[in-house]
Amino acid sequence: MRAVWRGTIGYGAFAIPVKVYGATEENSIPLNQVHKTDGGRIKFRKVCELDNEEVPLEDIAKGYQVPGGDVVMLTEDDFASLPLPNAETIEIHSFVPLDQIDPIYFTKSYYLEPEPQGTKPYVLLVEALKESGKVGIVRVALRQKETLGALRVYDQTLLLDTMLWPDEIRTPDFPFQYEDITVTRGEVRAAVALIDELASDFEPRDYADSYREALETLIQAKIEGSDLLQPTEGVQEAGVDALLASLRNSLLAADKAKAAAQAAKRANERTPQGR
């Protein structure tokens, strides 16, 4: 794994140096958008909507569009001037029970590995969190953006779960919420009985991505059945090669025709006239 961030955990008098790694990965089968006639990869170019010209990376900036259509341009210096007090620190603000945090807040998980000089305070924090049954609520700046997070223990390792800010959670607002819908106590008991019938402990190994497995089987069957399309070279390169080959063939044909004409002329000159 490659570290995505390095800094310290601010914890009372402790400053625990750590490296941060992504804790999850997607195992979906990589599928590309291709031209169905020849299998060539589809490329997307960044084009200016005003002049329809392709824009090189060095000419691309960030901007905020205000009402009316005008754009406020923001430079790298502008972003550098913004306060990011937690740019190098995972700052613990409080400790709370994990069950007080609704999972809707969680976005992404990261493993924290201690630097060699921080191993003992790191292990101490792990044991303290386990015994207390609480998680740390933290602030940290990842990818130039301040983020709320929860620091907890997973498999004897500190895990940082980044979280949404409260104003990023939408409030559900659906018509049925305003309807006067009544369910009987008997209906509730029947539904609870069904839940109890299916109740069990969560075992991750009991679940698999059946769609991905079916897609893998489909792709393998197409490979074994030689249902393959060999992408050719790009249109421009293939066109140039074809043009050069055509020119070479034309020149060879012209040379052969010229040689044949000269041979016929010489033969005519050697033939006596008036016979």
**Percent share of the chain, pLDDT over 90:** 63
Q: Does 90 fall in a domain? A: yes
pTM of model > 0.85: no
Q: Does 147 fall in a domain? A: yes
Average pLDDT over the chain reads: 86
User: Is 258 or 15 the better-scoring residue by pLDDT?
Assistant: 15
Please compute the mean of the pLDDT values over residues 75-88 and round it to a whole number.
83
Give the separation between CA 35 and CA 38, rounded to whole angstroms. Answer: 6
Question: How far, CA to CA in Å, does 234 sit from each of 39, 209, 215, 242?
Answer: 11, 36, 28, 12
Q: What is the DSSP string of the chain?
A: ---SEEEEEEETTEEEEEEEEE-----PPP---B-TTT-PBP----B-TTT--B--GGG--EEEEPTTS-EEEE-HHHHHTS--TTSSEEEEEEEEEGGGS-GGGEEEEEEEEE-GGGHHHHHHHHHHHHHHTEEEEEEEEETTEEEEEEEEEETTEEEEEEE--GGGSPPP--GGGGS-----HHHHHHHHHHHHHH-----GGG---HHHHHHHHHHHHHHHTT--------HHHHHHHHHHHHHHHHHHHHHHHHHHHHHHHHHHHHSPS--
Give the separation between CA 172 and CA 5, rounded to whole angstroms. Answer: 35
Q: Does 189 fall in a domain? A: no
Structural domain count of the chain:
1
Give the separation between CA 129 and CA 158, rounded to whole angstroms. Answer: 9
Q: Does 183 fall in a domain? A: no
Q: Which range scores top for mean pLDDT: 32-46, 68-82, 89-103, 224-238?
A: 89-103
For 31-45, 240-254, 259-273, which range has the lowest pLDDT when averaged over its residues?
A: 240-254
Q: pLDDT tens-digit profile of 205-263?
A: 999 999 999 889 888 888 888 666 666 655 444 444 554 555 556 556 656 666 666 66
Q: pLDDT tens-digit profile of 158-191?
A: 999 999 999 999 999 999 999 999 999 999 999 9
pLDDT value of residue 237: 43
Q: Does 37 fall in a domain? A: no
Q: Does 36 fall in a domain? A: no
For tokens 């050719």, the residue is: 232
CATH number, position 148: 2.40.290.10
Q: Does 180 fall in a domain? A: no
Q: Does 271 fall in a domain? A: no
Q: How many CB atoms lie within 10 A of CB 14?
A: 15
pLDDT at 112 over 90: yes
For 90-99, 101-110, 167-176, 214-223, which range has the lowest pLDDT when averaged over its residues?
A: 214-223
**For residue 137, which phi and psi values (nearest 5 degrees)?**
-95, 125
Range of the domain at 2: 1-25+72-169
pLDDT at 119 over 90: yes
